[in-house]
Homo-oligomer: A and B are copies of this chain.
Amino acid sequence: MPRTTDYKFSRRIRATPQSMIREILKVTERPDVISFAGGLPSPDFLDTEGIRKAANSVLKEEGKAALQYSTTEGYLPLREWISNRYKKRLSISVDPDEILITNGSQQTLDLVGRIFIDEGDPVGIEAPGYLGAIQAFSQYIPEFLSVPLNYDGLDTGQLAGVLDSYDPVFCYVIPNSQNPSGITYSTANRRESATLFRNSDTLVVEDDAYGEIRFTGTHHPTFRALLPQDRVILLGSFSKIVAPGLRMGWICGPEEVIDHTITAKQASDLHSNIFSQRVLSRYLADTDIDFHIAEITRAYGERCTLMLRMMDEMFPEQIRYTRPDGGMFIWLTLPDGCSAMELWRRALAKNVAILPGTPFYTDGTGDRGVRLNFSNADPERIQAGISRLAQVLAEYMGS
């Protein structure tokens, strides 16, 4: 008879939030549910035929290299593509040697946490903050310091206080179309924040997963452009512009940081899937990626506009929400006394899924926040889902 084991798990894993999201998303996979809860890109722009051709060419022409072990830093032509893209799109100069290819940008968060955070170290994070980052950093048991977001970016008064009082190892920020809020920092806010960072010892970890998906508004400078290069670590992802299933992201930073990141990455999983790196690199070489991204951006812009217009017409006045200029999410704030968890339950009973805000806060607050995704559902489902949600809200808030 097998004995019953009391396992001794690490404090680290016990400190990592078991994702309530996973449970929530499981329920929403039912086909009768219209889901705004997830964070999936639209399947309409997953270019299966383009990737198929690229995979065919790679396996015909360089198959042995694509299936063998490879280097930890990643496939050089892919790092060169990223370097060129930074130059062209953001006028930022990044050497390919300052770039490491990762398994999606989630792995960059794990690696950043791993190389910087000792237990108890202060780490700055937006409130609401990206759930994946909260999970990744939690494993290294930091002290989270929330910097609230205003509609134009970081609350600089709060940021100044956090930097002065706690001297965080780094602050993690998503200045473009933030997840979950959809907020883009204004240029003025970036400049003011950069001044505060420049006068501190705190590194800026700048996640730009959504920068390519901007459907309105103007370009704002990156922290990488506003601060000394050795103070900023940039994170990027192919998930929103090519395909999340390939798990391809990158981290770029000063040589000393990338050196340690390579050591951590090697100990984690040796290297990223070289077959997919080569397929992606081939795909990028053979595709008009600007056209492809413009198509995605146009569609997401239409979906966001549709959703906002319906919300303007149908939602109770007391509900506030962001008006994103890009990305994939709108953030709702319910009035005092309302609970997003309760709204989630009521909406699901009508076959609409939303994501309650609590997991995006590190202090257990946030139950008046709701994240809505506009990229995954097509316009018909957005219309049907928002109509239903408006009814649920009217009943909930009228009750």
Please determine whether B12 and A245 come into contact, CB atoms closer than 8 angstroms.
no
From residue A108, how far is it (CB to closest CB) to chain B in Å? 9
CA distance A18 to B245 in the complex (A): 31
**Is the pair A48, B19 in contact by a Cβ cutoff of 8 Å?**
no
- Contact residues of A with B, CB < 8 Å? 2-5, 7-13, 16, 18-19, 22, 38-41, 43, 46, 48-49, 51-52, 55-56, 59-60, 63-70, 72, 102-104, 106-107, 110, 114-118, 132, 135-136, 138-140, 169, 203, 228-231, 239, 243-247, 254, 256-257, 260, 263-264, 266-276
If A66-B245, A106-B268, A110-B269 are given as contacts, then 4 extra A-B residue pairs at C-beta distance below 8 Å, sorted by A number, are A3-B230, A7-B203, A22-B266, A39-B69
Q: How far is the CA of A5 from the CA of B204 in the complex (A)?
A: 13
- Contact call B244/A69, Cβ cutoff below 8 A: yes
Would A263 and B230 count as touching, CB distance under 8 A? no
Known pairs A40-B68, A40-B69; A267 contacts B63 (CB<8 A)? no
Give min CB distance, A234 to chain B, whole Å: 15
Residues of B within 8 A of A41 (CB): 68
Residue of B nearest to A61 (CB): B48
Which of B68, B136, B203, B247 has a CB less than 8 Å from the CB of A271? B247
B16 touches A264 (CB 8 A): yes
* A222 nearest CB across to chain B (Å): 16
Distance in Å: Cβ of A27 to nearest Cβ of chain B: 14
CA–CA, A380 to B247, complex, Å? 39
**B residues near A18, Cβ cutoff 8 Å:** 263
Q: Please tell me if the beta carbons of B256 and A7 are within 8 angstroms of each other in the complex.
A: yes
Q: How far is the CA of A115 from the CA of B13 in the complex (A)?
A: 5
- A231: chain B residues at CB < 8 Å are 2-3, 5
Q: Is the CB of B9 within 8 A of A268?
A: no
Question: What are 16 residue pairs bridging A and B, where the CB atoms are less than 8 Å apart in the complex?
Answer: A2-B230, A10-B114, A10-B117, A12-B118, A18-B263, A43-B64, A48-B67, A51-B275, A69-B245, A102-B269, A103-B103, A132-B270, A136-B267, A136-B268, A138-B267, A273-B276
